[in-house]
């Protein structure tokens, strides 16, 4: 009987947690910030475009764009009324991006940023950015049109476990 209850809890808990953490993660309505930040690995540049659009709409004067790693994207062309800063994180991970942005925010005395991440990455990205910087964060996840939901969910479960258990520092 106990084994059946545990199995039933797992069958219910894992899909519910997956939905909440990776499919419909908590997101914020953007407000005025010091910068928008687009996380990398976005070959279609959807995240970069969203970060720039938020900046152009008056949410921030600066758009910070991670160029990613293996599938690096070019830095967007200069845009009127928006300062675009591009970087390549070292290490080429979400944690590396959080570390870089934390240093940049400290140098520039930023108090609030809007982070544009992939939908499935938003929960882990929020956790990593909160570990790396005390500034206020607003997460605005986007859905990649080439969404590979099963792959992304499996990847994010592993990456989240790694961030929670193995690599707990910024």
Domains of the chain in sequence order: 32-156 (3.40.50.620)
* 112 beta partners: 136
Side-chain half-sphere of 30: how many Cα atoms within 13 Å?
Answer: 23
How does pLDDT run across 91-131, given as a tens digit for each residue?
A: 999 999 999 999 999 999 999 999 999 999 999 999 999 99
pTM of the predicted structure, to 2 decimals: 0.91
Q: Nearest CA to 131 among 91, 98, 88?
A: 98
């Amino acid at each position: 009987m106990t084994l059946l209850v545990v199995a039933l809890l797992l069958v219910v808990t894992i899909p519910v947690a997956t939905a909440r953490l990776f499919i419909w993660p908590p997101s914020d309505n953007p407000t005025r910030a010091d910068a928008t930040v687009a996380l990398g690995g976005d070959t279609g540049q959807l995240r970069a475009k969203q970060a720039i659009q938020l900046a152009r709409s008056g949410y921030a004067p600066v758009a910070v764009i991670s160029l990613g790693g293996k599938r690096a994207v070019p830095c967007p062309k200069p845009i009127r009324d928006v300062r675009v800063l591009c970087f390549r994180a070292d290490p080429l991970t979400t944690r590396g991006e959080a570390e870089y942005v934390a240093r940049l925010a400290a140098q520039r005395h930023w108090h609030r940023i809007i982070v544009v991440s992939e939908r499935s990455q938003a929960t882990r990205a929020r956790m990593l950015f909160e570990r790396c910087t005390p500034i206020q964060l607003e997460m605005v996840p986007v859905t990649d049109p080439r969404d590979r939901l099963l792959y992304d969910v499996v990847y994010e479960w592993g990456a989240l476990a790694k961030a929670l258990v193995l690599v707990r520092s910024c």
